[in-house]
Amino acid sequence: MSKNILITGGAGFIGHQAFKEILINTDWKITILDRLSYAGNPKRIEEVINDLDKDYQNRINFLYHDLKAEFHEDIVSDLIETNIILHIGASSHVTRSVKNPLTFVQDNIIGTFNLLEFAKKLNNLELFYYFSTDEVFGPSEENVKFSEWDRYNSKNPYSATKAAGEELTIAYSNTYLIPALITHCSNVYGERQHYEKFIPNTIKKILDNQEVIIHTDNSNTPGSRYYIHNTDLAKTILFLIQNYENVKREALKVQKKEPTKINITGESLVSNLEVAQLISKNLNKKFSYKLINKDPNRPGHDIKYGLDNSLLSSLNGVYDRDFETGITQTVNWYMNNLSWLKN
């Protein structure tokens, strides 16, 4: 049975790949809602559509809207048959959140509130999917991985506003019986990522013979992340949506709480220095780097995060390619699409 899905942030890095995965593998009608800020680039949607048969275009609708504003009656009317809301749209850059915290409060808290208010008006809503981050739990010590319902420990305005969005989603689920799913995700990489992010930025710096900055802890140990490729993440997102009732049932057995929370993470922990070295290897180009501890321009940044994804693994919902394979594919893609490395 065909469904109607609304994807917020569908022109963003993660959102556009989720849009592509859903478009290709379902017969659903898709509405992309995006305000097209610096991170929401319509070129992503254009490139996805250009690679597909024109028949797919009949199932796509684009809605320009800033979630800081309430949904007007005409928008509600157009979207009243929505069955699924996939809420990916957010301000998501830690350094930007430190410099402009109010923007993140407005985008990530007020925006989520307005979307939940819209969700209350839908008679056929089957799922409100809130996409969150591993950063809500704060830094993890060695060998520590956080479970879905562990306590928040936000260290910067970005993660605090994402945690607040989670709490709003939980409150609306409990109060207004909105069926909800919340996922936390580790670092995402892959094609069409904004050039300010570490991997495309490092590719660009090595190509331009510029020094790569590697942030460290007090012992000069480079920061590290669990990485997941954006196409693997998109597969997991669709898996969770299509299997929501079973996911909810199995999660309740383990978590004893509602709504459902799921952790999504790559399997391999990789230091930022190792990432830069792999990029250098794939470019066949030497690079210079500088280790920096306590960068005054990066307060609130954590050295390492960690998520326990044993629940998702038990559901057979893990899609995770080998990181070295993924970084090779990513570097090759950028080398064939150099415009994505430009300001």
**Cα separation values, 157 from 92, 115, 314, Å:** 10, 20, 33
Distance CA 140, CA 303 (A): 8
Distance CA 99, CA 297 (A): 9
Contact criterion met (CB below 8 Å) for 161 and 112 = no
Pairing of the two strands 180-185 and 127-133: parallel
Among 38, 56, 152, 158, the active-site one is 158
Is residue 158 flagged as an active site residue?
yes
Helix (H) or strand (E) holding 111: helix 111-120
What is the token pair recorded at 72?
């007007």
User: 49 in helix, strand or coil?
Assistant: helix
Does residue 259 have a cis peptide bond before it, meaning omega lies within 30 degrees of 0? Answer: yes
What are the residue numbers of the active site? 158
